[in-house]
Amino acid sequence: MKIQITNGRVINPSSGLDEVQDVFIAAGKVVGIGQGPASFAPNRVIDARHKIVMPGLVDLSARLREPGFEYLATLESEMFAATVGGVTSLSCPPDTDPPLDEPGLVEMLKHRAKGRNQTNVYPIGALTQQLQGSRLTEMGELRDAGCVAFSQANVPVMDTQVLARALDYAATFGFTVWLQPQDGHLARGGVAHDGEVAARLGLPAIPTCAETIALSTILHLVRHTRARVHLCRLSSAAGLDLVRSAKAEGLPVTCDVSVNHLHLSEHDIGYFNPHCRLVPPLRSLRDRDALRAGLADGTVDALVSDHSPVDAEYKQVPFEAAETGATGLELLLPLALQWARQDGIPLAQALSRITADPARILGVPAGQIGPGSPADLCIFNPEQEWVVSPQTLKSQGKNTPFLNLPLLGKVSHTIVGGFLIYEDARA
């Protein structure tokens, strides 16, 4: 399949390219930008006039709900949602049922995901067996099965000795460990930020120090083990400060925030909106603004969807009982664009946070367009407005705090491995 994308504004964040150019694709690779190979005869020409051509999105956290939670979503539904969102590479956390703690489970997932030409799936293996925080998994075997890193999803390791040993063991092989910093004791029973809204609504609260204490522990252990750690889903200004100084010190750490925490605060809970029942909790406006500034200055490396489809039934219960998480694969791009527009962030820099930067954390050849790079691309119309609704969302999960809101930016084409796998003629 040979594709020529014409007249689009090509943005490649990692090289700084931002020009109207043609892109030439053959045999799964980008074979030329501006200038195609001699006698290039495309099977398909895509007119990208007034559109932006960019590397496909790389999403560091998307729950596909397989195995074990097929009643919430299936691999098919969520892989399709990824293509609709322009996401061509994603990593999925190990909190499936059973958790991704055995090579066989990972191989099965990889096999199921590979079925068609689809978004590349990079599983994150469980750091401990059953995510129970006591015994290490066979990380070497899991890596050979396809895991690119190891994590506890959002289940904390309560035992600091186990965490130290897990980091030591991972560092032996140079594996990156992904940790979501939240102290399990301080977070116990809590569902909202320990602030004004929890006080008003009578919701059990999680203090900011649940994050900073966990972060301090992790950062001390990084200093001790020299393990490479990626910190997932920061939620607070104080937590961000710790990461900023750790980076200044030269510790091998990176971090991300979710689109929800980038745009929302505790106040969005309103009168118990269950779509704002998230882990970690949405914090204050000051925290949100600090996360935005951190994403702009690079302290925060990547923006993630934290895609977690949940069936309506599990959200239509009192706030405390509501299943956590929000759907997000289809919102990652428009919400990154919204952040760029609102905060005056150069477009290429904003797009870097959802392409080249997360690809660097994953350590995979994705997130860029250049001669010879894999032909994983996304073409979108930056001016097209659409309304987030159960009808427009293709994910099986319709649960998002952004429901009924108009967003700008709609993907018109998604290309993975040189194949056009999604096309929306109206975008």
Partner 1 sequence: MNGNPQLSPEGKLKHLLTIEGLPPSILFHILDTAANFEHVAQQEIKKVPHLQGKSVFNLFFEASTRTRTTFEIAAKRLSADVINLNVNASSQSKGETLLDTVDNLSAMQADMFVVRHAESGAAHLIANHVAPGIHVINAGDGRHAHPTQALLDMYTIRHFKRRFENLKVAIVGDVLHSRVARSQIHALTTLRVPEVRVIGPKTLIPRDVEQLGVRVFHDMTQGLRDVDVVIMLRLQNERMNGALLPSRDEYFKYYGLTPAKLARAKPDAIVMHPGPMNRGVEIASEVADGVQSVILKQVTFGIAVRMAVMSILAGERVGNFS
Residues designated as active site: 306
Q: Which stretch binds partner 1 (CB under 8 A): 19-27, 213-221, 238-246, 265-273?
A: 265-273
- Cα separation, 324 vs 279, in Å, equals 7
- Cα separation, 359 vs 356, in Å, equals 5
Q: Number of C-alpha atoms within 13 angstroms, CB side, residue 4?
A: 14
Give the angle subtended at the CA of 276 by the CAs of 274 and 282, to the nearest 5°: 145
What 3-state DSSP class applies to 218? helix
Q: Number of C-alpha atoms within 13 angstroms, CB side, residue 18?
A: 9
Give the angle subtended at the CA of 418 by the CAs of 415 and 422, to the nearest 5°: 25
Q: Which amino acid is at 276?
A: C
200 near partner 1, rule: CB under 8 A:
yes
The two three-digit tokens of residue 19, written as one number: 């020009």
47 near partner 1, rule: CB under 8 A:
no
State the DSSP H helix or E strand holding residue 224, giving kind and residue range, or none if neither.
helix 209-225
Nearer to partner 1, 45 or 199 (CB): 199
205 near partner 1, rule: CB under 8 A:
yes
Nearer to partner 1, 270 or 346 (CB): 270
Write down the H helix ranges in 52-93: 75-84
Burial of 39 (0-12, 13-18, 19+ CB in 10 A): exposed
174 near partner 1, rule: CB under 8 A:
no
Site for partner 1, residues 314 to 343, rule: CB under 8 A: 316-321
Nearer to partner 1, 76 or 268 (CB): 268
Nearer to partner 1, 161 or 404 (CB): 404
> Measuring CA to CA, which residue among 379, 383, 419 is closest to residue 85?
379
Least separation in angstroms between residue 408's CB and partner 1 is 22
Site for partner 1, residues 207 to 226, rule: CB under 8 A: 207
189 near partner 1, rule: CB under 8 A:
no
402 near partner 1, rule: CB under 8 A:
no
Q: Which stretch binds partner 1 (CB under 8 A): 198-206, 324-332, 339-347, 371-379?
A: 198-206
Per rule CB under 8 A, count of chain residues that contact partner 1: 26
Least separation in angstroms between residue 179's CB and partner 1 is 26
Least separation in angstroms between residue 228's CB and partner 1 is 35
Q: Interface with partner 1 by CB under 8 A: which residues?
A: 194-196, 198-205, 207, 268, 270-275, 313, 316-321
